[in-house]
Amino acid sequence: MTATHVLSQNTRVYVDGYDISGDASSAESNLTAVMGDDTTFLSTGRTHQKGILDDHFIYEGFFDDSAAGVDVIFSALRARSYTSGYSDIFSMYPDLDTVGKPGKAGLIDNSRYSAPVKVADLVTVKAEFGVEGGIMPIKSLGAQATITGTTTGTTVDDSASSALGGTWLFHIFAISCVGGNARAVFTLQDSANGTDWLTVGTESYNVSGAVPTQGIHNFTGTLRRYVRLLVTKDCTTMSLTYQAGYHRGQNGPTN
């Protein structure tokens, strides 16, 4: 049996509308569950009852205080509150983010950010995030790309359909939509045969503005075998840099 090993330099890490791969030296998606002790006097060994998910995302890298650097981003994430309805999203792809590649994603709350300083060393940073509702396995809908017109993504073949809904998300690193309706439209599509495509439920969303942004959405019902992303230009001129992924199965977290 031939093992498939990958170099860590292939890892891609995205938070909201920012690509933080370049400053990263370590990224860890920690999948855990609370284990309640239900050992009794008559037990011959300790026993546990599996409880709720308690996943974490841990990032280590190098200090960068530019506008799109990790110091600015993580400081802002720590200050934000979920009571405002704002959703912070992370995606991590261990082996590049080309279409169909597996990764991990979730809603995050930055609980700890530190920047330890040592004599004659580069300044490093470390951030720890709680993951709201648990980490989701995802597949990429396409590598980070810049487009200027309507773009149909490459098809992902999941071999079979599923009936438990799912979640999809996108990171928008840069956006400029001018004229017309001044927006782009992100649509998740599926197909039973790879030829005839429909919107998954009502999963079509308008995206506009001029700053990095993100979106995460849940859907119910059937997701057919083939999946792809359609980005429609709904403006006169457009420049859009983005990356997207999806989770097939039971609904994950939502904004």
- Under the banding of pLDDT at 50, 70 and 90, the label for residue 79 is confident
> Residue 86 pLDDT more than 80?
no
> Residue 254 pLDDT more than 60?
no
Looking at the domain assignment, is residue 80 inside a domain?
yes
> Residue 221 pLDDT more than 90?
yes
Looking at the domain assignment, is residue 254 inside a domain?
no
- How many structural domains does the chain have? 1
> Residue 84 pLDDT more than 70?
no
Looking at the domain assignment, is residue 98 inside a domain?
yes
Looking at the domain assignment, is residue 113 inside a domain?
yes
Specify the pLDDT at position 210: 85
Total-model pTM: 0.90
Looking at the domain assignment, is residue 106 inside a domain?
yes
Specify the pLDDT at position 77: 84
Looking at the domain assignment, is residue 1 inside a domain?
no
Looking at the domain assignment, is residue 255 inside a domain?
no
Average pLDDT, the chain: 91
> Residue 87 pLDDT more than 90?
no
Is residue 178 within 8 A of residue 122, CB to CB? The reply is no
Looking at the domain assignment, is residue 2 inside a domain?
no
Which domain range does residue 109 map to? 8-38+46-248
